[in-house]
Amino acid sequence: MTSAPPSSTSPEIPPATSPAVVTLAAAAPPGAGSPTRTAPFIGAVFIATSLDGYIARPDGDIDWLTERGADAGDTGYESFIDGIDALVMGRGTYEKVLTFDAWPYPGRTVFLLSRRAEPGVDDRVRVVRDVAEAVDAISACGARRVYVDGGQVVQSFLAAGLVQEITITTVPVLLGEGLPLFGRLGADVDLQHRATTVLGAGFVQSTYAVRR
């Protein structure tokens, strides 16, 4: 099923065709200055939230999404994932993915950002301990377009300037509580609206470019 026609769109902005090189401050001993690292890849977020901004219930359940998702029609996910070279996700997202009938990322490099997961816990993922290590690992594998998934990972990558594109599909439901998509940031993050599309069953999808 194809999606409904867009309800409103901004003047078309060509998608990024080359990575924006951003600078990530690396941890350093006191007095050692502030060495930096560059991340030559595009970080892209593609995620669903409730109308009040939650990506899951407090216990991580996403029944409110899975029970309604088919009614949205074509959300563009397949086209999005076809352009992804690697993924980075947190432990909560990884554990949710493990409940799916099949591993949804065959043939793609998946980084698990976690301080607790043991290296080698799953041969389908590579464990990284922090954002700086994730940047090094993603850069080393040559990925040019990276899917950034999971609330805490999205927040960390945004704060570090590692997200260039954000697509949010809003589900017409209020949860009242849960795990939020966004959290505290060190500074405002300016966004440029690309498009908003009304999908089936009242789902609304908006895409933004992150201004740098």
For residue range 6-30, list pLDDT tens digits in order.
Answer: 333 333 333 444 454 444 433 332 2
Q: With contact defined as beta carbons under 8 Å apart, do 151 and 126 qualify?
A: no
Residue 61 has a pLDDT of: 96
Q: With contact defined as beta carbons under 8 Å apart, do 9 and 202 qualify?
A: no
List of the chain residues with pLDDT < 50: 1-18, 20-37
Residue type, 12: E
Copy the structure tokens of residue 64. Answer: 């409110």
Residue 212 has a pLDDT of: 79
For residue range 81-117, list pLDDT tens digits in order.
Answer: 999 999 999 999 999 999 999 999 999 999 999 999 9
**In a 3-state reduction of DSSP, which class is residue 176?**
coil
18 CB-contact burial (10 Å; exposed 0-12 / middle 13-18 / buried 19+): exposed
> 194: closest CA among 15, 7, 2?
15
Instruction: Compute the distance between CA of residue 18 and CA of residue 210 in angstroms, rounded to an integer.
Output: 14
Q: b/e string for 132-167 if b means 16 or more Cβ within 10 A?
A: bebbebbbeeebebbbbbbbbbbbbbbbbbbbbbbb
pTM to 2 decimal places: 0.83
State CA 124 to chain mean position distance: 19
The CATH class for the domain spanning 37-142 reads alpha beta
Residue type, 147: Y
Q: End-to-end CA distance of the chain, in Å?
A: 36
Cα–Cα separations (whole angstroms), residue 68 to 32, 49, 73, 95, 159:
52, 12, 10, 21, 31
